[in-house]
Amino acid sequence: MTIESLYPYTLVAVLLAAVWWFYRNNISASRALPALAFWASSVLYALVVFFTEFDAYYKLILMLPRDLTALVIVGLLANNLKKSRGFFALAVGVGFGSYLLYSNFVGETYKQYFVPKTNTKTPEKLASHGELLVDLKNVDNVAGLRTLLKAYNISLEPAFPEIADKNLTELDDYFLVNIPDAQLGNLTAIENILRQSGLIDWVERNETMSLSPIETKPVSGRQGRGDYGINDPNMDKVWSFEKLNVGAYFAHIKKNNIQPKKRAKIAILDTGVDAEHEDLKDNYLSTRKTYDKDKQSHGTHCAGIAASVTNNGLGIASLALNNEFVQVTSIKVLTDQGWGTQDGIIKGILLAADKGADVISMSLGGPSTDASQRAYSEAFRYAQSKGAIVVVAAGNESQNAKNTVPASCEGVITVSAINARLEKASFSNFVQDLKMGIAAPGEDILSTIPKNGYASYSGTSMATPFVAGLLGVMKALKPEMTTAQAYKILKETGNETKNTRETGMLVNPLGALKKVLK
């Protein structure tokens, strides 16, 4: 229980103590106990208000005046009705009514004004265009907002105008608030005006996000010793397949002549993908030509893990034994320097969903600031409604993934990284407090890089496409599979790691395959 959750209870206690005080004044000369109750509850209320992490504007301008007004009204009613037989009914009504009112209030608007102490700093960088995202109650309210913000020379524009199925989401009501550089010092004031306008449901900062640092090596020196029954020449350097028992997984597919019902599409939301890479092009499907290049290499590396062509005599392999199981596409949401904006990433999620992605793989993330999960979560709900499963990286800060977005958002499968000793990789965030956390290999992972190259990278970015690739095979076999069903299979068939509580279960391709086919 947080201190913020105590707020409605302390307020109700003050109101009931006030009623009791008036009532005792009427029936008895002894007023010490109700007076003590009133002052004690008032002090407790004051302490709770002081130590809550609501912002100062909300406390001073909204919370205290509103609560004092409620106290005055309750006091006047109690004083006038203290001799009536309905006095106790009034007291009970005040108590329950106040509880329902304020518990509902906190539940609906808590996130608007709550500023965690660990994240009270202004983000280092907001989007250069559209510094705020607002969810309008009605798109007809745009003119009213423009009038309210006229003094700041602000413009507004639809944030996600290209959504294919607007009836499936509220994101069509989101607008970008473009703040001139000269007015950025008034950012907090502008946010407060928006919150108090009565014209919006939500406002959040449109923050930028960068790739987490990863370790890179030219070519992996790690040796894998499994016999996988395939001819890709670099598999002796892919330790992950040995630990995941991929040899038995491939053998099971061959022995039982397992055929997919469809070719599942895996969308890599990243820095782009080198569409002409020798070990990717036969599995690659272009969404937009501008996404088919990758100057950074991160996106191409992730694509190779998820869907490199298996058994083609080149490079490495993925969990798709042949080209009939999966195809991979790129949605470029990060720049060549490896950073992107929240609205740009959300646009990528929506586009992937609208283009029929079965799995959306997101090896990106950043600090969970400014209650920045609402728009992301709405985008993930949209993707799920279109049949996609979203997989995201836990992050590389060696901390709790609940402090990272989109790893901590509702509706995503979040992936931690393990090393060859089946330990949590030293850099990996832990997922023990998330609803759908899972583990995959993420240290010294050999995969594709632009210009027909191969290199070993380390990060939860590498673990994520392992899971995306497996989910692609699962969706190819059972296209109607939901996120919840998929995660249940991964968890129930997964293997223990040496740090299972922190990492979640390690994916088990053979076990998951058998479960899907039951």
DSSP 251-303: HHHHHTT---SS-EEEEEEES---TT-TTTGGGB--S-GGGS--SSSHHHHHH
Indicate whether 52 pLDDT > 70.
no
Rounded to whole angstroms, how far apart are CA atoms 286 and 473? 20
Q: Which of 94, 115, 136 is the last residue of a domain?
A: 115
Q: Does 201 share its domain with 255? A: no
The mean per-residue pLDDT over the stretch 129-157 comes to: 93
Please compute the mean of the pLDDT values over residues 132-144 and round it to a whole number: 92
Do 222 and 180 fall within a single domain?
no
Q: What is the pLDDT of residue 29?
A: 52
**Per-residue pLDDT, 65:** 77
Q: What is the dihedral of CA 413, 348, 122, 417, to 10 degrees?
A: 30
Give the mean pLDDT of 500-515: 98
Boundary residue ending a domain (154, 172, 206): 206
Residue 461 annotated in active site: yes
Write the CATH number for 435. 3.40.50.200
Please write the tens of the pLDDT for every residue from 367-412. 876 466 789 999 999 999 999 999 999 999 999 999 999 999 999 9
Q: What percent of the chain has pLDDT over 70?
A: 82
Same domain, 189 and 332: no
**Are residues 61 and 111 located together in one domain of the fold?**
yes
Structural domain count, the chain: 3
Q: Does residue 319 sit in the same domain as residue 298?
A: yes
Pairing of β 413-418 and β 445-449:
unpaired
Q: Cβ distance 98 to 70 under 8 Å?
A: yes
Question: Both 409 and 441 in a single domain?
Answer: yes
From the candidates 55, 135, 270, 292, give the one annotated as an active-site residue: 270
- Mean pLDDT of all residues in 467-492: 98
| Cα dihedral 457, 459, 462, 466 sign | positive
Give the list of residues 6+ apart from residue 289 with CB closer than 8 angstroms, or none. Answer: none
Spatial CA neighbour of 278 closest among 336, 227, 233: 233
Alpha carbon distances (Å) from 197 to 146, 147, 482: 11, 11, 39
Whether 262 shows a pLDDT value over 70: the answer reads yes
Strands annotated E in 49-199: 132-136, 155-158, 174-178
- HEC string of 386-397 equals CCCEEEEECCCC
The answer to whether residue 107 scores a pLDDT higher than 50 is: no
Say what the pLDDT of residue 213 is.
Answer: 60
State how far the Cα of 391 lies from the Cα of 464, in Å rounded to an integer: 7
Give the domain extent around 61: 3-115
List CB contacts of 383: < 8 A, sequence separation 6 or more: 349, 350, 352, 353, 357, 360, 390
Are residues 334 and 238 both part of a single domain? Answer: yes
Q: Same domain, yes or no, for 220 and 85?
A: no
The burial class, CB within 10 Å (0-12 / 13-18 / 19+), for 51 is exposed
Task: For residue range 196-219, list pLDDT tens digits in order.
Answer: 999 999 999 998 887 766 655 555
As a whole number, mean pLDDT of residues 286-301 equals: 97
Return the amino acid letter for 297. S
What is the average per-residue pLDDT within 117-141? 73
Highest mean pLDDT among 109-118, 271-280, 334-343, 368-377: 271-280
Question: In terms of domains, do 395 and 494 share one?
Answer: yes
- Judge contact between 269 and 362, C-beta under 8 A: yes
Output the pLDDT for position 278.
98
| Residues 111 and 123 both lie in one domain | no
**Predicted structure pTM score:** 0.76
Of the residues 298, 301, 370, 444, only one is catalytic, namely 298
Phi, psi of 83 (to 5 degrees): -95, -5
Rounded Cα distance, 268 and 246, in Å: 23
Nearest to 281 by CA among 470, 452, 447, 469: 452
pLDDT band of 112, cuts 50, 70, 90: very low
Instruction: Dig out the tokens for 494 from the structure.
Output: 């997964």
Find the helix packing angle between 460-477 and 483-493, rounded to 10°: 110
297 and 187 assigned to the same domain: no
pLDDT of 134 > 90? The answer is yes
pLDDT at residue number 60:
64
Position with higher pLDDT, 374 vs 480:
480
The whole-number average pLDDT for the span 413-419 is 97
pLDDT at residue 429, as a whole number: 96
Which pLDDT score is estimated for 290? 97
- The reply to whether 270 belongs to the active site is yes
CATH of the domain at 169: 3.30.70.2030
Average pLDDT of span 428-432: 96
Q: Of 96, 105, 184, 173, whose CA–CA distance to 142 is shortest?
A: 173
Cβ neighbours for 3, distance < 8 A, ≥ 6 positions apart = 48, 51, 52, 53
User: In terms of domains, do 239 and 191 share one?
Assistant: no
Domain boundary (147, 179, 206) is at 206
Query: Mean pLDDT over all residues of the chain?
Result: 86
Q: Is the pLDDT of residue 163 over 60?
A: yes
The H-or-E segment that residue 105 falls in is helix 87-113
- Is the pLDDT reported for residue 504 higher than 60? yes
Q: What's the pLDDT score for residue 45?
A: 84
Q: Do 372 and 404 touch, CB atoms closer than 8 A?
A: no
pLDDT given at position 88:
54
Percent of the chain scoring above 90 in pLDDT: 67
